Every structure is written in structure tokens, then in C-alpha cells.
Chains A and B, each alone.
Chain A
Amino acid sequence: MKSLKTFPKGGVHPGDFKDLTNKEPIRNAAIKDSFIIPMSQHIGAPCECLVNPGDEVKEGMLIGKASGFISANIHSPAPGVVKEITDIFLANGLKTKAVVLEPSGYFDQLGKNIVPADWNSLSAKELQEKIFNSGIVGLGGATFPSNVKYMIPPDAKVEALVINGVECEPYLTADHRLMLEKSAEIFKGLEILQKVLNPEKIFIGIEANKPDAIDIMGNLAQESGGKIEVVPLKLKYPQGDEKQLLKAITGREVPSGKLPINIGAVVSNVGTVFAIYEAVVLNKPLFERVVTVTGRGIKNPSNLKVRVGTKVRDLIEDCGGVTDDTVKLVMGGPMMGFTMCSLDTPVTKGTSGILALTEKEIGKSVQTACIMCGRCVKVCPIGLVPTKLYKNITHRRYQDAMHLNLMDCKECGCCAYVCPANIPLVQGMRLGKKMANKKVKS
């Protein structure tokens, strides 16, 4: 048997714990008494808020307008009345403006049979516009506005469109379930993307721990002709990062500071492709996504279809609550996610999972001194030297850290995962980036 593809350098093998939810079908999350819709759910400039307290909104109405080149529209997840506009903290610790919405009235789309739109008559440019208007961002977690990503510079050519169905983060099964349940829709979305990008070849990368998804997607790929290929990948974290995925599938390496398009490739998540299908065919802007609510602390781990702005409190309630030994709530995956300090944190477009972790799962961590064992250096998939970077950062030598290519750090968490001294390396990298940028600005 041919050995499976993977990226060559670094990486770790955390226990995947996907069996908690990989058999759970996606179900709709209950709609509770309020939504908190942050005006910054993407990388780039925050949205300009279009509503005022007291305004009535409809389902899918534009409430936040993109306010820059790298920015994405935000739509109302439910019909209702705007209660207030306030400042909240997102799970990543940043402060942002948010619209508090009290649902009332009728849903225009929920539960209705929607006649699929005829998108074949639309040109590539019109489709691009549709993607922008629907506020679609990369749903893998980075939330980069998709329309910006699909703006191919005139001198570049898309040789490979890589669809990311890797889902390498432990615990999460949102993309996995989406591939199983909505495979036909994802392929429709792929057709749309083909028209927009006109790629020479399409690859769908799926890790080998999802054999059922590989089967289903593989069969559909064969039916659709030879252009689409499903590539099973060897299990290794962080394969879902676009640079690692491209290295694994195409063998090409994205140079430091460059984008995938510089090597003729575009990477999109399966969730994003499904969102494009919904936006173009069903005329539904992006206000809903699949979120895995899991962890040993959750009584009934589930995959939920959640409207953006739903509070974490409501989702956990929906899944039967948490057990008594839960000690940590994380938004995102366990490797790259953020610990939450409030149950009122809302789900955003980039939220792929909510984890309630017990003491047994996180283990005790007492930070000790670095013993220079070099394990972090060995596992860094980018080839950075976390020991040196961290030392420079803690001694406030941010420019020195920048010269060691700090900005190439993807914060994948491999270094902190293997560190025997429990040093918060990723937090250090984040601090370094923040302070270096601050210095450059001032």
C-alpha cells in the first residue's frame, strides 16, 4: 500500500477524542431569548454597525457593513428587535462592539422550502460579489474574508484549489459531519468555486481518521469527472493549516510572508464551500455554522447548527449542561482555542467548537524553567526556534524575535503542547507579535 501523504517537518500527535461526537448528526440549536452579535467576526477592519437600539430587523438582514478592503458583512441571525449596542469581549480576549438582539416575529427562511436560484447564468464577477455580499469568511478558524482570498491577481493562475477537510484539531467533528451529511451541497459549492477561480485541479484533503468521509467524498468526486481528487492524509497535527496542507498535497512550500496564491494555490475549508453553496444557491447569507459542543465535561456532546451570536451558555444548556468536574471552557479546538472567562461569550463565524474540559483532560501544569531540551524546535512545523524566540520576547527584545521570523508563527500550539516545563510558549509568541507591532507603529 502506498503510504499516505503528510507534511514533512514537525507536528504532533495529540489524542483525537473525536469519538465523542463523530456519530452525532448535526441538529439545530434552540433559539433562546437573546443574541449578541459582535461587529468584528473576521480578520480585518470591524464592521460599521447599521442598526440602532429599537430597530426591527429581519432574518438575514445586513446589520454590519464591511468597512475596509479586508472586512466582511455581518447579517442578522434572527428576526427581532435591537435591544442595545454595547462593548463585549470576544473569546480571543479582544474588545469589540456588539448588537444585542431580542428575537421576535417570523423567520423568513427557517423551515421554508427555498427555490434554488439559477446561478449558472451568473458570471464569475457576479458570483464574487455574491460571496462578498453574503459576508463569507474562511470558516476554518482564521476568518479571512473569502472574497479577498478569491481575488486572484492578474498575473497569477490557480493551479490547485485545495479544499480543507482535514480538521486536525482534536475533539472537533463539525467539518467531518458536514462532509457526511452535506456532501452533495459541498460539491455544488465546488462547482461555483470552479467558475469563480477556474482552477486546473481540485484536491480535497481529508485525514485518515475520517474513512467514512473519504469514501463519500471520493465517490462523489469520481462521479463528477476527473478534475476533483480526494487525498487521504496521514494523521498529524497541524495538517489543517493551509501551509502544511499545501506542502502535504502539492509538495510546494509557501515562502515566508507570502500567500498560497504565490505558489498558484488557493485553500478553502469545507465549511466555507458549504457556506458559498448556501449563499449562492439558497440566497442565505452567512449567519449560521456548525459548532461541535464537546469535551468530557459536556453531558451530551453534540454537533449543532448554531446561529452566530448565540451565547455559549445557551449552547451548553442545549447539550445537557456541564458535569461537576469541569474546570475549563474553551472556544475553538484544544490546541488553538481560547479559554473563555464568561458564559455570555457569543459564537462568531470562526467558532468551530466549544469544549468543556475536566481536570483529567487538561492535567496539572506547573511552569518550571526551560531546560533547553529542544522538543519545541523539533515539533515546530514552520521550522522556528521557540526557545530563542521566547527568551527574546520575555526579555523585551521584540525586534530580535522578529528577525527570527516571529511573524511566521501560526500559533498552532505544538511547541507548548510538547514542552515538559509547561512554558506558555504560544502566549509568548502572541505577546511578541503584539509588542513588536506596537513598537513599529510608535
Chain B
Amino acid sequence: MEGERLAIGGMKLSVPLVLFRWDAFDPEALQSIFERLGAGRINLPVVWIDRSAAVSSARFCIDAAGSEQALPTLQAFADIQQIAPVVAISVYPFGKRLTLLGKILQAFAESNLPIHAVGSSLASIVVLGDDTRRAACVEALLRHLRLPENHAPFEPEFRVRYQERS
């Protein structure tokens, strides 16, 4: 039962990402990892850290294209699980209600698509799914969400890279 499709403003899909999952993490070690990744100019486009429960959990992503540089830092920690590749799908607008979250959970679960994580930003809800099934993720979402006719493209049309400033 899909119910009425919820009108949204658009969706954006990330480039393929590598997701790292660390439950019951060591906070100092995690801070050190983030410091080393930052020093290596490696961006973390998505970070979730939950210390509200008895067992803490951390999830963070890096661009799959640049993951080789990060892996030596991360592979030193046996408890960090690597899940790759994943895609971050941003659905706009968040709307500050639970309706959109419900539609996303329903869409993924009914299509047996794994949900690795979900988080809100100021404007959107971001869901992490399997990148190998990104088309299926979009298809599942669109069974529950309705795009406007003139919506923005799903895939980024440009990429930002850093340039050293002397």
C-alpha cells in the first residue's frame, strides 16, 4: 500500500561514497581519525555520531574516488567496518515533520533496500543506500514521492576541488 505520494521539491544523489561504521567507538581515537583525515584534506560529506545510547555509534563517509588515501588511517582500527559503495540521497524539503521520513523508510523497506543511515540537514533529509542499487533507490522513493515537472537534476553537474592558495 503506497498511499498518496508526497510532493517534494527535488532529490540529489551523491557520488559513490565509502561508509565507515564504528559501534562502541573510542572517542579519542575517532577524534584522531578525523584530525588525520582533515590533515590529509579528505572531506567527510556525511557524519553521524550518536552517544545518547548505552552503546555509542559513529557513521561517516568519504568519497570513494579518494578512499585509497584514507584507508591506511582507518584500517588500523579493526572494529571499524567498511561498507561500500553507498549513495547519499538528499530529499528536499525536510519540512520539519515526520511525514517525509516515514515515506523514505516505507519506500526503502518495502523494496528491501538497505537503509544504512538517515539524517536531517537544514533543508533536506539525507538517506544512505547502496550505491550499486541507486536506480532502485530512486525508483522506490518515487513510488512514494512526487517530483515537480521542472525539478533539478539528480546528479551533480559539477564538482568542487581544492586549490592551494599561496
Is B truly associated with A? no
B residues in contact (CB < 8 Å) with A: none
The interface of chain A, by Cβ under 8 A from chain B, is none
